[in-house]
Chain A
Amino acid sequence: MHGIIPGSAAAPAADGVLLAEILMGFALIGGAVLARRRRFRAHAACQSVVVLLNLVVIAGFMMPSFRRAVEPGIPAHLGRIYYWLATAHGVLGLAAELLALYILLAAGTALLPDWFRLVRYRLWMRATLVLWWLVLVLGCATYARWYLRFG
Chain B
Amino acid sequence: MMKIKTRTWSCLIALAAGLVLRPVGLMAGDSPAVTNEVKIDNFCFAPQTLTVPVGTTVTWVNKDDVPHTVTSDDQHFRSRALDTDDRFSFTFSTPGTNNYYCSVHPKMTGTVIVR
Residues of A participating in the B interface, judged by any CB pair closer than 8 Å = 1-3, 9-11, 68-70, 72-73, 77, 80, 82, 145-147, 149
Interface centre among A68, A69, A70, A146 (most CB of B within 10 A): A69
CB distance from A145 to the nearest CB of B (A): 7
- Asked if B104 CB lies within 8 Å of chain A CBs, one says yes
Residues of B in contact, count (CB < 8 Å): 16
Task: Name B106's contact: one of A11, A68, A145, A146 (CB within 8 Å).
Answer: A11
Chain B at the A interface: SS class: loop
Task: Name A9's contact: one of B43, B65, B69 (CB within 8 Å).
Answer: B43
Residues of B participating in the A interface, judged by any CB pair closer than 8 Å = 42-43, 65-67, 69, 80-81, 83-84, 103-108
CB distance from B68 to the nearest CB of A (A): 9
The answer for the CA separation of A20 and B105 in the assembled complex, in Å, is 19
In order of increasing CB-CB distance, the 6 nearest A-B pairs are A9-B105, A9-B43, A11-B106, A69-B104, A72-B80, A69-B81
CB distance from B84 to the nearest CB of A (A): 8
The answer for the CA separation of A10 and B102 in the assembled complex, in Å, is 10
The answer for the CA separation of A1 and B81 in the assembled complex, in Å, is 21
Contacts A69-B81, A72-B80, A77-B83; is A149 near B107 (CB within 8 Å)? no
